[in-house]
Chain A
Amino acid sequence: AQTVTQSQPEMSVQEAETVTLSCTYDTSESDYYLFWYKQPPSRQMILVIRQEAYKQQNATENRFSVNFQKAAKSFSLKISDSQLGDAAMYFCAYRSPNTGNQFYFGTGTSLTVIP
């Protein structure tokens, strides 16, 4: 099975500043999907951003962007202009096209936003 590693259990950022959350994965596949999900205190999992491996261009969604390095198997999330509402657990996820839509999740990074 694919493994997804988030090496930062906790991160903090000052409001309005930028923070980068890291994610690496292990795979032998060439075509796959990567995701970042956010889980705020309500525990509702919310899709933040996704990236198709065949696309070289990094995905961007408003203040959220990724740095996808396919050769390095790295998929970091950058949050710009951090807001108090960004405080949450962030999970990186890998989807293989060969395992029936199954996702593999990292262990999560808890982000604190300091006012």
Chain B
Amino acid sequence: GAVVSQHPSRVICKSGTSVKIECRSLDFQATTMFWYRQFPKKSLMLMATSNEGSKATYEQGVEKDKFLINHASLTLSTLTVTSAHPEDSSFYICSATGWETLAKNIQYFGAGTRLSVL
């Protein structure tokens, strides 16, 4: 299957700082990328959908000014958690899909980023 790389896998930061998480599709062009948040032993909660070259679409209740998403190329999307607070501590997962046969109609996931805000 297709490969999606997510970096960093773990980050610890101080309250009030910003953190950037990268999501890359390594062997296909990701026309759409998704960002999820997952709480312990819970399902994935979709935060936003980003299409290459356009603004991200945020789900209801997700603050777009706090969770900045950029999808500037067909292989890279970034999620920046701005002015992070302890309540933002969570597991964040990205996924990607594309038009190529390899990735069509399927979401391939990154390995996730565990964010801990002190």
Contacts and interface: CB of A to CB of B under 8 A. Distances in A.
Whether chain B is bound by chain A comes out as yes
Interface of A: 33, 35, 37, 42-47, 50, 89, 91, 93, 95, 100-103, 105-108, 110
A42 B108 contact: no
* Secondary structure call for the A interface: strand
- Between B43, B51, B91, B109, the greatest number of chain A beta carbons within 10 A of the residue's beta carbon is seen for B43
* Secondary structure call for the B interface: strand
A73 B53 CA distance: 36
Contacts of A108: 42-43
Given A42-B111, A44-B112, A91-B44, A100 B49 contact: yes
Interface of B: 1, 32, 34, 38, 41-44, 46, 49, 51, 91, 93, 95, 97, 105-109, 111-112
Contacts of B34: 101-103
B93 A50 contact: no
